[in-house]
Structure 1
């Protein structure tokens, strides 16, 4: 099965022709390319407690309309430190929001702006508009795994994680044609993001970089 590789958010300097999703680059002095040293990936706590994003309700927190046609499985997405868990939770929701907006064909969805800002918001909207222009949606399964998270010296959240798109595809709304990842393109993508906490307690993604093939199985 082949598909145009557009499923994944990627840094603009990378070849966008080889991507299925698209966030972008951004950031300032503390970019998402910071190395994570000694970060707790949360694997040990994967079964210790459920993600707080499922139970916490904050004022104005939007619901993300992600349908059953696209499943996003987050593996090991927990951490024993509440502060780091909050970064994980909102980083997860930013990714879910961007994918939901593609399916809803709504670049200006409130939930996208709720979890993204600055360069990350601009590139997310550009990516979503690309799907709207071609009248494509997303289906299948995306596995998101190996999260690494820390707070840097400026208090920003630095979150790295991997995504496996091997079971995800694009589907045209008019023709119902399903197109998958080309055989010569790695379905594995590493995300390198930075997040900043707002006065309302939301960790908004402000920059995203990606590298295809940087993650294994």
Structure 2
């Protein structure tokens, strides 16, 4: 079956705070073009979670995804350790939401670990929209072209593209598969603002997505 993918539609309704003003002052970032300066960009992601120690001492949840759903991250590296830390936590934030959908767990502690405030509320709403209809995820998404920056207030700004055209939903009861149409608007640009907490974790505090924003 093929219809406009809910994967994309729900990502859009989950957007609660526009980040075009979160890129710093003085015109240092070109928000109108959907690009920011200080960009650098990873690795691959592989649904259970368990604590895992990290170099900064924070005990982060370990997130794994099943073989039937892959989240690949391309170009997610940066020579600046501070910017790399934002990339690492931004990547795990997205993976935590995919894992929560697959686990049918909108109250996932891993999602709460990487989100706060409005971002946590919208993340749980997005996950719940899948669990309410008993849908999971299969296929593959690719997150690429990350751009990362620390603005004048000390917040992290992370823009990246997510290609959802090879991902589908699958109903757990009926087995019905809904594929994502192969259209440019199904490559979304995610725009996140992150604040570092006292444990050294960069948590999403706001997120918006732009359909076709990476074209």
Q: TM-score, normalised by structure 1?
A: 0.82
**Alpha carbons 1:21, 1:127 under 8 Å: kept:** no
Partner deviation per Cα, 1:26-80 (whole Å, 9 max, x = no partner):
37995479735432233xxx69xx99xx993644311113211110110000000
Give me the whole-angstrom Cα distance separating, in 2, the residues matched to 1:19 and 1:182.
15
Q: CA deviation at 1:145?
A: 0.4
Give me the whole-angstrom Cα distance separating, in 2, the residues matched to 1:146 and 1:72.
14
From 15, 18, 25, the counterpart of 2:16: 25
- In structure 2, the gaps of 5 or more residues are 46-51
Q: Does 1:56 align with 2:47?
A: no
CA RMSD of aligned residues (A): 2.7
Q: Does 1:2 align with 2:21?
A: no
Q: CA deviation at 1:85?
A: 0.3
Q: What's 1:12 paired with? A: none
Q: CA deviation at 1:166?
A: 0.8
Matches within 5 A, 1:1-217: 2-8=2-8, 18-19=9-10, 23-26=14-17, 31=22, 35=31, 36-42=35-41, 56=54, 58-182=57-181, 186-216=185-215
The 1:37/1:123 distance shift into structure 2, 3 A limit, reads: closer
The 1:209/1:185 distance shift into structure 2, 3 A limit, reads: same
Give me the whole-angstrom Cα distance separating, in 2, the residues matched to 1:132 and 1:204.
24
**Alpha carbons 1:66, 1:100 under 8 Å: kept:** yes
Runs of 4+ in 1 over 6 A off after TM superposition: none
**Alpha carbons 2:19, 2:208 under 8 Å: kept:** no
**Alpha carbons 1:102, 1:132 under 8 Å: kept:** yes
**Alpha carbons 1:31, 1:207 under 8 Å: kept:** no
Q: Which has the higher strand share?
A: 2
- In structure 1, the gaps of 5 or more residues are 9-17
The 1:77/1:56 distance shift into structure 2, 3 A limit, reads: same
The 1:21/1:111 distance shift into structure 2, 3 A limit, reads: farther
The 1:22/1:153 distance shift into structure 2, 3 A limit, reads: same
